[in-house]
Amino acid sequence: MSQWWQKFRKNLNLSVDEDRYGYSVQRKPRFLMQGWFERLISRISMPEDQQRLLEELAKRGTVVYAIKYRSQFDYVYAALRLYQLGLPPASFVFDQHPYLWQPRWYAAKILVYHFWHLIRHGCLPDPYDDGYYREKIQAGQSGLFFLLGKKGYYKRTVLVGNDPIEHLFEIQKERERPIFVVPLMLLYTRHPSRERRGFLDLFQGQKDCPGPLRKLISFLQGYSNAVLEAGEALNLQEILPELSEEISERRKQIFQVRRGLIDSVDEIRRAIVGPTMKSNLELKEIILHHPRLEAFMQRRARSSSLEIWKVRMEADGYLDEIAASYSYPLVELGAKILTWVWNNLFDGIDLDMDSLQRVKRAARHNTIVYIPCHKSHIDYLILSYLLFKNNLFAPFVAAGKNLAFWPLGPIFRRCGAFFIRRSFKGLRFYAEVFSLYVKTMVQLGHNIEFFIEGGRSRTGKMVLPKMGLLAILIQAVEEGFCDDLVFVPTSICYDRIPEEESYLKEISGGAKVQENIGQLVRARRFLKKRYGRVYVQFAEPLSLQNHLERYRTGSHVMRPKERHAMYRDFAYRIINSINKASMVTPHALTASALLTSSRHGVSLAEVQEISRAFYDYLSICGVRFSKTFKSYDKCMEETLWDLERSKLVGKLKDEDDDLEEEVFTMEDSKRLTLEYYKNNIIHFLLPAAFVSTSILAQDSFRFSLAEVLEDVDFMNNFFKFEFVYDNEVSTEKLVSEVLSTFEAMGWVQRVGEDDKPYILTHKGLRFAHCFHGLLRNYFEGYWLVLRAFRYLQKNPYSEKDFMKKVLSLGQKALKLELVERPESVSKIIFNNALKFYVEKGIVEKKIEEEKGKDKEAECYADTGNRLLVQHYSKQISRFLRSPHFALQ
């Protein structure tokens, strides 16, 4: 019999012993219509950083993949895509015979061999006892096993038989190189499921564990957005010493390892697909029956003598106005349309992948609140697009009610936007309904996105935070709607923005144009221009619970002022995180260099000198630059060319190009646009600008640290409504760091240890003027408002009328050359100055009846405090080194 068997094996031409079990697949699975399926599967995305990680793990040891549910389809899906990407392929499978995926003749030979083994030994070959898996791992080949499945369940739990994880630990004992178990998440569709089951589930399988038919249908419907992602790898070599020698205890530990892998897969799924979606009717039902809203509606019905059903109808109407109506197919379509738009609008979108990975890790365990800066209407489109394209569930976005106009409003709503009114003043019932809607959304685990600045920044720098929605989210955690919220400050920087013209009009005093369908039609012209690149970076995620811990002191209940301070501190922390995450773009650096002087022309050599000085200073400070700066000279040359092409600057050149230097010219109206881009990085340059302004205001070029500190403290306070400061960094530390940098660059020298140990060098004088030039327009703008208070000495003015007066005064002052900078005539600077002077008591707000009307209106009136006017004007005069700024 034995000779017959040897002859039979030889005739079958079976390969070497290691392949006799049929658990191996040579190179990749083979099957009918394989080429067509491979073309579809090539569209499946896998993040590049995860691909690099798998390559690195394969160099260090052996990779074994873990998939949650037992499935032949999942195996083929993973094996083919890994092979296409050039990653370690799953060349063998635990506890599964891949007969279907072998070449037909080879599969037939394996079946015959297994049948003969069954006849001779009464069982199929056992790859555990025969050392098959051990040989494969020792040879460095990658394998795959399933974490859940009926067959594996009975073997592990009831029969207490072989277990892949336990077997891998046994193999790890015998080898020096580590074994890495990598959980894989395979998604055939990213459509968020709803809490309902249909008749077809009997045949297609449940949605959390779909059958082959549902998987195939889902894959064919959404293969272009299908996902393959890897979780955090387990190094069995590191875990091995922690395993108990006692069998029952070791099995418990292995069970925990398995549960950890399953949880890792579930967390990846949650981050990509999001929580289970509820219908709008179900969501409204939850909110309208919440005990808190029920009690409020009962009180409202009693106080207004309305029937309770009418109050409920009012609340229901508010929810219809507010609530999103999420449609995944529309989101999918929107992503395709936006791909085309971005390709036509920008030269590319640079997303920082390291910061994205931090967000991905946070999203697997927490509900996320994204807080981007708000520079353009397309901010929320870019962020949602990037998250979707990088396998993260697009958040629900808080959008202003001004965007609810047809046809964009319904589209935004179905893409996840929920709408908020600009003001809750006098709308307590609406505020209560809106607050409960937001709290219910985070309770259900939905990620949220909102703009902490309220509206778009027309100046290019961060606007002071609005506390409304932030307070609601903080209360959601405090009131137990969710355990924690993780805030992700997000920086979105542009080389150029499409709204340049509209911002220029608003800053110059024009009224904001309400969004409408006409604007949508006219938006086509933006697609005819190119706006450079977009740069997106996520700051370090911030846990709200960690922030709240700082304010919890026993049983002490925070008073309203303390609570507001807590909200404000967290808001400023978020904005500072956004500022730190932002980067320097070529357009921002060039605009800053161009605006250091009030002259209408500046030579190319001067622009290059100042740009390089700013670049070197920021480099020493550790500020991030866009990737385009890799070739600095070429980058700056292309930026100046782009500004010239866009007519933001002009260029004068002599007929003899070789002898005369290029001179760039700036019209007054274009300086306001350049000011926007300068302000994109003003927060990086602000400490140096404050210090330089103080040094230049001293009686001599020798100065002390105390003198500079005093001046910087004054400027910090003076511009408190203009800039956002980092409250966690003291003024002394800030000034010391700036002086140390100036010293390293040779702009300041220490000349002793006396009262005035610092001296400004000749080179430093040149660049101190450059840094100071970044602030001059702000000082001039604040001075213009001070000068305009003479109008209030005669009659009170409404804010609108007073702004008209200041803008008119600014234009006259420019013509008379009382102020140098056209960008100082800015409605936004004037408004911020007015807030400051009201706080200091130079002017006051009054409520007066409007002439000829029965309505009351706010207006501004002079308080007669001329000493304060003189004080602030003299300080401005000192810092600008011009006596005419001192008012009497």
Dihedral over alpha carbons 550, 551, 555, 560 (to 10 degrees): 180
**Which residue has tokens 């303390």?**
562
C-alpha–C-alpha distance, residues 569 and 546, integer Å:
13
Residue type, 374: H
DSSP letter (8 states) at residue 781:
H
**% of the chain beyond a pLDDT of 70:** 84
Confidence at residue 197, expressed as pLDDT on a 0 to 100 scale? 47
Greatest mean pLDDT among 217-226, 657-666, 794-803 lies in 794-803
Residues in the chain: 888
User: Once rounded to an integer, what is the mean pLDDT over residues 288-295?
Assistant: 90
User: Once rounded to an integer, what is the mean pLDDT over residues 88-106?
Assistant: 72
C-alpha–C-alpha distance, residues 372 and 379, integer Å:
8
Residue type, 359: V
For 111, counting Cβ atoms within 10 Å of its Cβ (0-12 exposed, 13-18 middle, 19+ buried), the class is: middle
- Of 1.10.10.10, 3.30.565.10, 3.10.20.30, 3.40.50.300, which CATH number belongs to 776-885? 1.10.10.10
Confidence at residue 199, expressed as pLDDT on a 0 to 100 scale? 43
Tokens read off for 360: 């991905």
Closest residue by Cα to residue 41 from 201, 169, 188: 188
Domain 586-706+728-745 listed as CATH 3.30.70: no
Examine the pLDDT at 813 and tell me if it is beyond 90. yes
C-alpha–C-alpha distance, residues 743 and 761, integer Å:
10
More confident residue, 196 or 810: 810
Residue type, 279: S
Tokens read off for 279: 């219908």
C-alpha–C-alpha distance, residues 332 and 348, integer Å:
21
14-18, 441-445, 571-575, 671-675, range with the lowest pLDDT: 14-18
Band of pLDDT at residue 20, cut at 50, 70 and 90: low
Give the pLDDT confidence of 402-432 residue by residue, as tens digits: 787 777 888 889 988 899 988 888 789 999 9
Give the pLDDT confidence of 525-544 residue by residue, as tens digits: 556 678 889 999 999 999 99
User: Dihedral sign, CA of 373, 376, 377, 381?
Assistant: negative
Taking CA atoms, 300 is separated from 293, 308, 315, 316, in Å, by 10, 8, 11, 15
C-alpha–C-alpha distance, residues 279 and 283, integer Å:
6
Give the pLDDT confidence of 822-842 residue by residue, as tens digits: 999 999 999 999 999 999 999
DSSP letter (8 states) at residue 553:
-
Greatest mean pLDDT among 659-668, 741-750, 859-868 lies in 741-750
Confidence at residue 767, expressed as pLDDT on a 0 to 100 scale? 93
The dihedrals phi and psi of 658, each to the nearest 5 degrees, come to -75, -20
C-alpha–C-alpha distance, residues 389 and 244, integer Å:
44
Confidence at residue 511, expressed as pLDDT on a 0 to 100 scale? 65
More confident residue, 152 or 390: 390
Band of pLDDT at residue 198, cut at 50, 70 and 90: very low
Taking CA atoms, 518 is separated from 405, 406, 512, 522, 524, in Å, by 11, 11, 15, 6, 11
Confidence at residue 655, expressed as pLDDT on a 0 to 100 scale? 59
Band of pLDDT at residue 802, cut at 50, 70 and 90: very high
Contact 574, 462 (CB under 8 A): no
Give the pLDDT confidence of 491-537 residue by residue, as tens digits: 999 998 888 888 888 787 766 666 555 554 455 555 667 888 999 99
Cβ neighbour number for residue 864 with a 10 Å cutoff: 11
Mean residue pLDDT of the chain comes to 84
Tokens read off for 679: 């302000």
C-alpha–C-alpha distance, residues 10 and 132, integer Å:
21
Contact 828, 458 (CB under 8 A): yes
Confidence at residue 61, expressed as pLDDT on a 0 to 100 scale? 92
Band of pLDDT at residue 15, cut at 50, 70 and 90: very low
C-alpha–C-alpha distance, residues 720 and 462, integer Å:
13
User: Once rounded to an integer, what is the mean pLDDT over residues 444-472?
Assistant: 91
Which ranges of 91-175 does DSSP label H, i.e. alpha helix? 104-121, 132-138, 150-153, 164-173
**% of the chain beyond a pLDDT of 90:** 42
Examine the pLDDT at 750 and tell me if it is beyond 60. yes
More confident residue, 313 or 560: 313
C-alpha–C-alpha distance, residues 444 and 287, integer Å:
12
26-35, 64-73, 77-86, 138-147, range with the lowest pLDDT: 26-35
**Which residue has tokens 């409408």?**
516
User: Once rounded to an integer, what is the mean pLDDT over residues 465-487?
Assistant: 92
Band of pLDDT at residue 104, cut at 50, 70 and 90: low
At 491, which helix (H) or strand (E)? strand 486-494
Give the pLDDT confidence of 109-139 residue by residue, as tens digits: 667 766 766 777 666 777 887 788 888 888 8
Cβ neighbour number for residue 555 with a 10 Å cutoff: 5
Query: Residue 150: helix, strand or coil by DSSP?
Result: helix
Domains 281-581 and 586-706+728-745 agree in fold: no
295-309, 526-540, 800-814, range with the lowest pLDDT: 526-540
Helix (H), strand (E), coil (C) string for 723-754: CCCCCCCCHHHHHHHHHHHHHHCCCEEECCCC
Band of pLDDT at residue 208, cut at 50, 70 and 90: low
Query: Residue 710: helix, strand or coil by DSSP?
Result: helix
Domain ranges within the chain, ordered by starting residue = 2-273, 281-581, 586-706+728-745, 776-885
* Global pTM value: 0.86
Examine the pLDDT at 156 and tell me if it is beyond 60. no
Q: What angle do CA 561, 564, 565 make, to 5 degrees?
A: 85
Band of pLDDT at residue 158, cut at 50, 70 and 90: very low
Confidence at residue 395, expressed as pLDDT on a 0 to 100 scale? 92
User: What fold characterizes domain 281-581?
Assistant: Glycerol-3-phosphate (1)-acyltransferase (3.40.1130)
Contact 717, 690 (CB under 8 A): no
At 411, which helix (H) or strand (E)? helix 408-414
Confidence at residue 280, expressed as pLDDT on a 0 to 100 scale? 83
C-alpha–C-alpha distance, residues 743 and 697, integer Å:
19
Confidence at residue 200, expressed as pLDDT on a 0 to 100 scale? 43
Band of pLDDT at residue 279, cut at 50, 70 and 90: confident
Closest residue by Cα to residue 40 from 72, 89, 73: 73
Instruction: Enumerate residues 6+ apart whose C-beta is below 8 A from 768.
Output: 692, 695, 696, 747, 760
Confidence at residue 3, expressed as pLDDT on a 0 to 100 scale? 56
Prior bond of 407 cis (ω within 30°): yes
DSSP string computed for 299-322? HHHHHHT--HHHHHHHHHHHHHHH
Contact 721, 832 (CB under 8 A): yes
More confident residue, 769 or 653: 769
